[in-house]
Each structure stands twice: as C-alpha cells, then as structure tokens.
C-alpha cells in the first residue's frame, strides 16, 4: 500500500516501523537533555529512577498507545474517537489526541531551536572555527550564539524547513525513506564517538558518575524530572507512537516492537552518556551546567584533541540527525489529524510548520518561553497523556478487545502487562505528581 491510495498508509515493512519509532524516540532527549538533567540532579540516583520509570511506566504505556493507534488506524484524535465509541464510553477521551497534537507542536517550538544550535556547531566544527582556542573562549562561544538571534533564526528556519519537506513528502515516501537512511548513520556515528571518548576522555569517571547512586540527592522535583524524561525520551503520551502505530503492519507484534524500541532508546541514552560524560570531565567542566552543557563541553574537548574538527563534525551531525528523525514525529500527529479533516497534506504541513516556526522565534527571543514550553510538555502534558492512556486501555476498553490486538505474547505475560497498566502505572504517575506538588509548597 502506498501514500497515494485513499486508505490509511502502512509502513513498507516491519523494520521501517522500528526505525521510524526508534528515530522518534532517539533525539535531543538522549544526547542533549539527558546528560545535563542527569548532571543537574546528581547523576546515578537520578539515572536509576529514570530507568525504573522506563520499565514500569514507559514500556507498558508504549504498548497501550501503539495499540490504540493500530486498532484505530487513524490519527490520535480519530483513533481515540472510534475506540471510545466502540467501547461505549465518552467521546471526551479524544481529548488525549488533541492534547497530544498540541504537545507535539509545543515541543517542536523549542526543539527546533536546539537542533539549530547543533547545525551551527556542525558548521563551526567543519570550518575548524573553535579548534585550537582556549577552553574559556570555546565555552564563551555558546554564550555568543545564545545572544545572536539572527544566527539562531537562520538555523531554526533551516531545520523547520527540512522537517516540513520530509513530512510533506508523505508517510512512506517521506518519513519512511528518511529514517531508513538516517538511522543506520546515527548508529555508526554513535559507535565512532564512543570509541573516541573511550580513548580520549576520563571514561571511568564518566561511568562512576552515571551509575553510583546517592539517593540523598533525590527530591520530589528530580523525581518528576526523571518521570517526565522517561515519557519525553520514549515519545510517549502525545500521539507520536499512536500515529506511527497506526501505520504499523497488522502482522507485527506490538509488545516485541515496543520492547525493542524502548531498549534501543535506553541503550542509546546510556551510550551517549558514556560518550559525553568522559569528555565533560576531561574538559574540566561540571556536568550540571544546564542546557548549554553539550555545546560547551564537546567543542572544548574537540578543540585540542587529535582529529577534533573531524570528530566534532561527526558528533554534531549525529545530534542533528537524531533531532530530525524526532522532529518529523513531533509534527506528524497534527498533520495526520488535519488531513483527516479534509486539508491536503501539503497545506497541513506548511500551516503547522509555520506555527512551530513562530513559536521557535519566541523561544529564541525569550529563555522563559523556551523553558516553559519544555517544563509544561515534558513534566505535565506527556505524563498526563500517558496516565489517561493507561486508564483508558486498562479500565475502559475491555479485556477481550485489548487481548485481540496484543499478539505475540503468552496469556501470562499479557496479564502481567495488563495488571501493571491498570494499577502500577497510574499509581506511579499520580504518586510522582503528588510528590512534586508537595515539594512545590515546601511540605
């Protein structure tokens, strides 16, 4: 089946689903955000909480969300509508889809700015512009970029345009083909950089920082950050895996595909950490230095290391590719929805891309807009979306309906998943919300 038929598109094969969804999952979250939030929250204990959230909240919700998409064979709003109708429950559940479309667009409004920074650093690395400079000068280079609104605007516009171009080409022809090329490149580059960090960085110190847990550093707020990040990094709770699931071939097993994607995403976050923290320490920087971390540390490391311009270029190409395969998945739920409402794919793409572009401009001019968009989406909207998905599938859809769609697992495993989804996942999300709100009021 292809995009040109009137019916809903389907990925050309199972691997494309895996690559597209892994592409959605692996992004700036893994390479840019994870290292600095782990750094800000003390390292090891935070990493453990995040892994726990992936296991108890992330994977069960991913299975549920993908299932809603494949069963509904539509964008998140209509997929929820049909299923609410067939289960005889309120149409209000389709709000999950609408909130998801909004979250995707809100994320892209700052995501594209960060992707723009990484394009700038591809350029700076390839032209050796920070090579041989002193560490202080190199680190200050990011501050200069953060003030240079014109330059950020150019890269942000370029990134949104490429995203729109790929998505505009369609699901199989645009997104499917893109991920088939981008993802193998991403894997190769990451291995190359791991090797580089192993040889040039303080590798053991990096590992110790990531894996030695000091639980006294954990607060309600850091717990919320860990949970929010688990949702963010797996692209959950906002319709991305739902819409990608709606293009999934019927014969594919949802649980095994989901476990594969979650495993790859986690592996890549950890490997990225193993490539980055050793270089952070070797550069004499602190891992908790905030959103600029990646763009200060890595250039410092590359500036005086053997092959720095080459590996620096490779690294920032890697970051840009990871961002691109995610940005297309951030905008796709909205596009699929508008298409269903009768707007052509091209018009929908241009319209939403423009909206994201405007939001991006606001993020460039105001750090508050930037961080509010990030906080609202990752820490509130995605976990809330995930909670509602767990409640809907666990308590509203009905056991038999769900069992029919979840193939490739024994009854025993299915039952474990269903119990986790009904009880553990919702309680987990609610407890973390509660703990962080409590913290907010100083109780």
Per CB under 6 A, residues contacting ligand PHE are 24-25, 27-30, 104, 107, 232-233, 235, 238, 240, 326, 329-330
CB of 268 to ligand PHE, least distance (A): 9
Q: How far is the CB of 255 from ligand PHE (least distance, A)?
A: 20
Measured from the CB atom, the residue of 330 and 338 that comes closer to ligand PHE is 330
Q: Cα(265)–Cα(226) distance, rounded to whole angstroms?
A: 15
- Using alpha carbons, list the distances in angstroms from residue 9 to 5, 76, 155, 173, 336: 8, 15, 32, 10, 10
Nearer to ligand PHE, 118 or 283 (CB): 118
Residue nearest to ligand PHE (CB): 29
To ligand PHE, the closest distance from the beta carbon of 266 in angstroms equals 11
441: tokens are 């009021």
Q: Which residue number, 257 or 402, has a Cβ lying nearer to ligand PHE?
A: 257
For ligand PHE, the closer of residues 303 and 320 by Cβ is 320
In terms of CB distance, is 210 or 238 closer to ligand PHE? 238
CB 68, min distance to ligand PHE, A = 15
Distance CA 193, CA 328 (A): 25
Closest contact distance (angstroms) between CB of 30 and ligand PHE is 5
Q: Tell the residue number behind the tokens 């494949």, with chain if given.
A: 70
Q: Which is nearer to ligand PHE, 141 or 174 (CB)?
A: 174
Which residues are within 8 A (CB) of 222 and not within 5 positions of it... i.e. 6 or more apart?
A: 41, 42, 46, 49
Report, in Å, the least distance between residue 11 CB and ligand PHE. Answer: 17
Among residues 436, 59, 107, 406, which one has the least CA distance to residue 252? 406
């Amino acid at each position: 089946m292809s995009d040109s038929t009137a019916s809903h598109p389907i990925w050309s094969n199972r691997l494309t689903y895996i690559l597209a969804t892994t592409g959605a999952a692996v992004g700036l979250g893994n390479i840019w955000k994870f290292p600095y939030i782990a750094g800000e929250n003390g390292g090891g204990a935070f990493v453990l909480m995040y892994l726990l959230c992936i296991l108890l909240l992330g994977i069960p919700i991913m299975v549920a969300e993908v299932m809603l998409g494949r069963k509904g064979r539509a964008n998140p709003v209509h997929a929820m509508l049909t299923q609410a109708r067939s289960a005889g429950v309120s149409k209000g559940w389709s709000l999950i889809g609408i909130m998801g479309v909004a979250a995707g667009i809100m994320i892209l409004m700052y995501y594209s700015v960060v992707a723009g920074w990484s394009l700038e650093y591809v350029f700076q690395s390839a032209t050796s512009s920070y090579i041989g400079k002193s560490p202080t000068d190199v680190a200050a280079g990011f501050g200069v970029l953060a003030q240079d609104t014109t330059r950020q605007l150019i890269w942000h516009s370029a990134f949104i345009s490429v995203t729109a171009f790929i998505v505009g080409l369609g699901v199989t022809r645009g997104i499917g083909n893109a991920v088939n090329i981008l993802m193998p490149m991403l894997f190769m580059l990451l291995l190359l950089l791991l090797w580089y960090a192993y040889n040039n960085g303080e590798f053991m110190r990096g590992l110790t920082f990531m894996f030695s847990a000091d639980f006294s550093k954990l607060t309600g707020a850091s717990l919320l950050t860990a949970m929010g990040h688990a949702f963010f990094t797996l692209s959950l709770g906002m319709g991305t895996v739902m819409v990608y699931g709606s293009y999934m071939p019927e014969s594919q097993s949802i649980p095994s595909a989901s476990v594969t994607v979650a495993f790859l995403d986690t592996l890549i976050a950890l490997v990225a950490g193993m490539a980055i923290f050793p270089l952070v320490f070797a550069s004499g920087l602190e891992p908790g230095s905030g959103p600029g971390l990646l763009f200060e540390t890595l250039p410092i490391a590359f500036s005086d290391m053997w092959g720095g311009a080459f590996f620096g270029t490779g690294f920032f190409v890697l970051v840009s590719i990871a961002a691109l395969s995610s940005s297309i998945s951030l905008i796709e739920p909205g596009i699929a929805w508008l298409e269903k409402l009768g707007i052509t794919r091209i018009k929908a793409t241009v319209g939403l891309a423009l909206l994201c572009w405007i939001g991006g401009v606001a993020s460039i001019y105001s750090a508050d807009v930037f961080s509010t968009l990030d906080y609202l989406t990752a820490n509130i909207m995605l976990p809330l979306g995930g909670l509602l998905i767990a409640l809907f599938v666990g308590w509203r859809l009905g056991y038999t309906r769900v069992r029919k769609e979840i193939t490739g697992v024994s009854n025993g495993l299915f039952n474990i998943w269903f119990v986790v989804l009904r009880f553990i996942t919702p309680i987990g999300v609610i407890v973390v919300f509660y703990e962080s709100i409590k913290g907010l009021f100083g109780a």
